[in-house]
């Protein structure tokens, strides 16, 4: 059992939780993920490590309420326990030797981008962080990114926070102003990452994208997280979750992701109705 020691609502659909998990915290690195279950009959879901504290023995997760399990998770509070909290899984973000990096995050993907920016910044790398959200009310981790980057650019679709436009607009502006990057790291919605990678390919800038497809076991056994990268099948859970963004078949990944949308929405509504009936 893993105790929830802190819970913070970041925006109407996104929540932060700090979990007491000393063995996971001991080895966790940016880019890796955990798999949790809320109870013994619960669904297994992957969530990327948003932060960790080796001294306190805690791991921070940030999740968006979109399905049944995240709805259940969001109803837990400080002092409650998770049944399973397994990890760290996947490969850590490669940061060695990088001197100038643009970290591009979108929506709740910024929660995954933050620990990467934080580690790079701590290593003396010049980090330019670009974070995009639909509107002001959905902005998360603004102060944290400012502290973990040399340059922070906030974008919003409607212009209610930061600059109006897309993350690709900000990235293109930086590149065309003469900024040179060893690498671009992008984390967010699939469609956003697709266009970030298309842009950087034009300028021949190495780009890494963090993929988060459907997962079940996290060990490569189920095959649910398969992707096509460079014409070959890979598994996000053991081969990733980060891959060469210029080699990923984003259209296939988007198509497979959309297959589960209706089922996910249905299960979320069922779970919401259960909680309403328990009041």
pLDDT at 42 over 90: no
Q: What's the pLDDT at 269? A: 56
Q: What's the pLDDT at 274? A: 54
- What is the distance between the alpha carbons of residues 165 and 263, in angstroms, rounded to a whole number? 32
Task: Summarize pLDDT for 104-116 with one digit per residue, the tens.
Answer: 999 999 998 999 9
At the top level of CATH, the class of 2-89 is mainly beta
Task: Summarize pLDDT for 239-259 with one digit per residue, the tens.
Answer: 888 999 999 999 999 988 887
- What is the distance between the alpha carbons of residues 218 and 216, in angstroms, rounded to a whole number? 6
Q: Is the peptide bond prior to 88 cis by the omega test (within 30 degrees of 0)?
A: yes
pLDDT at 271 over 60: no
* Mean pLDDT score across all residues of the chain: 90
CATH architecture of the domain covering 100-258:
3-Layer(aba) Sandwich (3.40)
Task: Summarize pLDDT for 125-180 with one digit per residue, the tens.
Answer: 999 999 999 999 999 999 999 999 999 999 999 999 999 999 999 999 999 999 99
Q: How many CA atoms lie within 13 A of 64 on its CB side?
A: 13
Q: Domain boundaries in the chain?
A: 2-89, 100-258
Tokens matching residue 41? 């009959």
Tokens matching residue 150? 């040399």
Q: How many CA atoms lie within 13 A of 90 on its CB side?
A: 31
């Amino acid at each position: 059992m893993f105790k929830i020691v802190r819970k913070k609502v970041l925006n109407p659909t996104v929540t932060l939780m700090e979990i007491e998990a000393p063995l996971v915290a001991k080895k966790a690195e940016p880019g890796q993920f955990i798999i949790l279950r809320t109870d013994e009959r619960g669904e297994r879901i992957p969530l990327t490590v948003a932060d960790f504290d080796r001294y306190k023995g805690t791991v921070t997760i940030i999740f968006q309420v979109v399905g049944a399990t995240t709805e259940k998770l969001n109803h837990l509070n400080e002092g409650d326990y998770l049944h399973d909290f397994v990890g760290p899984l996947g490969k850590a973000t490669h940061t060695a030797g990088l001197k100038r990096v643009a970290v591009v995050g979108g929506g709740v993907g910024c929660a995954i981008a933050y620990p990467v920016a934080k580690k790079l910044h701590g290593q003396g790398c010049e980090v330019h962080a670009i974070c995009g959200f639909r509107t002001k009310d959905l902005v998360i981790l603004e102060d944290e990114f400012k502290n973990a980057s040399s340059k922070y650019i906030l974008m919003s679709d409607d212009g209610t926070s930061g600059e109006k436009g897309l993350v690709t607009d900000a990235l293109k502006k930086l590149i065309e102003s003469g900024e040179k990057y060893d690498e671009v790291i992008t984390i967010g919605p699939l469609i956003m990452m697709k266009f970030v990678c298309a842009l950087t390919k034009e300028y021949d800038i190495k780009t890494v994208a963090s993929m988060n497809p459907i997962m079940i076991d996290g060990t490569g056994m189920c095959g649910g997280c398969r992707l096509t990268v460079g014409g070959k099948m890979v598994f996000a859970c053991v081969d990733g979750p980060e891959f060469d963004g210029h080699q990923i078949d984003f259209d296939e990944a988007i198509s497979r992701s959309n297959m589960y949308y209706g089922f996910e929405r249905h299960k979320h509504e069922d779970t919401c109705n259960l909680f309403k009936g328990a009041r």
